[in-house]
Amino acid sequence: MDARIRETLAGLDIRAEIERLRKERNAVILAHYYQTPELQDLADFVGDSLELSRKAAETDADVIAFCGVRFMAEVAKILSPQKTVILPDMDAGCSLEDSCPPDEFGAFRAAHPDHISLTYINCSAAVKAHSDIIVTSSSAEKIINALPKDQKILFAPDKHLGAWLNKKTGRDMLLWDGTCIVHEAFSETELLKLKALHPDAPVAAHPECPAYILDHAHMIGSTSAILKFALESPASTIIVATEPHIIHQMEKAAPNKIFIGAPGADGNCSCNMCPYMALNTLEKLYLSLRDLQPRIEVPEPLRLRALLPLNRMLAIASGAATDLTPAQTFPAVTGD
């Protein structure tokens, strides 16, 4: 933080100021599980990607302050164009988004005209606009199973999530070669050492982890599914193979259990903290509520094209649409 901003903030009770601005602006504060405990604790709602997307669509606030990464705030804006959506730090991106440039993805789609495109929500609005259905880690399996068995599918951008879904559903989706730098940083060797130290502790892992980590997991699922498992498991110690800030919610809800973050190659889990999520701070949240900046803007034609595949996901995930025929599913989302 530069000296001028530090001076502006000196002596301010930042939490009290955030409270004041939350009311004044009629703002709702959303936080992903990977945010720091201080941001999680003051958020109106903490959740996974699908839950936050739904929340963003439901809220009647005038302002959505999104403590998460840019693609998540972009989804909020796509679903609520009339609201002001702010992200405390506009540089809070995602390695999966970076690994899938829209023009390259458009060319990939064009090269496979007989495939439909299922795209993980961790991507830009432009990539969503090239897609047929958006999925999150908690909705993907249900959506794949709702598609005709012989339907050819492209899956982007996370190859590890795609490979895990292929295994779960028996499909042979063609996979884009993208990865999450955070989930790729877990070390199998270190995980095996940790398991040897805690032989009764189950491992709960996010499907963005490579197969060599997932192969050792007792449970694989989205952040909210991992949290649920950690709280419901009879085990007193649980090894958590996802971004370690989620452990804050576990410790709050089950203070008598022990939750251990799966290790990276250096034997501790610091390399598994998401560097993009870490850009958001209490101070930047305050400044963004004060200035209503940085603000997410999505041009209307792009928003409308990205909305279609997002709405398909929300309809299938909520049970409103279950049996999808290609005709219903893929009318006219084309990339250019």
Positions touching ligand SF4 (CB under 6 A) are 34, 69, 94-96, 122, 180-182, 208, 243, 274, 276-277
Is 119 a binding residue for ligand 13P by CB under 6 A? The answer is: no
Task: State in angstroms the smallest separation of the CB of 248 from ligand 13P.
Answer: 14
* Position among 116, 180, 269, 282 found at the interface with ligand 13P (CB under 6 A): 180
- CA-to-CA distance for 85 and 23, rounded, in angstroms? 16
Question: What is the size of the binding site for ligand 13P (CB under 6 A)?
Answer: 10
- CA-to-CA distance for 59 and 146, rounded, in angstroms? 28
- Of the pair 182, 191, the CB lying nearest ligand SF4 is at 182
Task: State in angstroms the smallest separation of the CB of 226 from ligand 13P.
Answer: 8
Secondary structure of residue 227 in the 3-state scheme? helix
Partner that binds at residue 48, options ligand SF4, ligand 13P, none, CB closer than 5 to 8 Å by kind: ligand 13P
Is 89 a binding residue for ligand 13P by CB under 6 A? The answer is: no
Partner that binds at residue 49, options ligand SF4, ligand 13P, none, CB closer than 5 to 8 Å by kind: ligand 13P
With the C-alpha atoms ordered 121, 36, 52, 90, is the resulting torsion angle positive or negative? negative
Secondary structure of residue 60 in the 3-state scheme? coil
Task: State in angstroms the smallest separation of the CB of 296 from ligand 13P.
Answer: 17
- Of the pair 180, 289, the CB lying nearest ligand SF4 is at 180
Is 179 a binding residue for ligand 13P by CB under 6 A? The answer is: no
**DSSP letter string over 275-290?**
TTGGG--HHHHHHHHH
Helix (H) / strand (E) element for 120: namely strand 116-120
Task: State in angstroms the smallest separation of the CB of 149 from ligand SF4.
Answer: 29
Is 223 a binding residue for ligand 13P by CB under 6 A? The answer is: yes
Burial 303-312 (b: 16+ CB within 10 A, else e): bebbbbbbbb
Secondary structure of residue 50 in the 3-state scheme? helix
Task: State in angstroms the smallest separation of the CB of 308 from ligand SF4.
Answer: 23
- Of the pair 108, 120, the CB lying nearest ligand 13P is at 120
- Of the pair 154, 204, the CB lying nearest ligand 13P is at 204
* Position among 151, 171, 208, 288 found at the interface with ligand 13P (CB under 6 A): 208
- CA-to-CA distance for 283 and 88, rounded, in angstroms? 9
Residue appearing with tokens 């982890």: 209
Q: Is 208 left (phi over 0), alpha (psi -120 to 50) or beta?
A: alpha
Q: In what order do the strands lie in the sheet with 258-261?
A: 219-220, 203-205, 237-241, 258-261
Quick one: which of 127, 113, 121, 111 has its CA closest to 143?
A: 121
Binding mask 43-82 for ligand 13P (x = CB under 6 A): -----xx---------------------------------
Task: State in angstroms the smallest separation of the CB of 226 from ligand SF4.
Answer: 13
- Judged by the rule CB under 6 A, the positions of this chain that interact with ligand 13P are 48-49, 122, 136-137, 180, 206, 208, 222-223
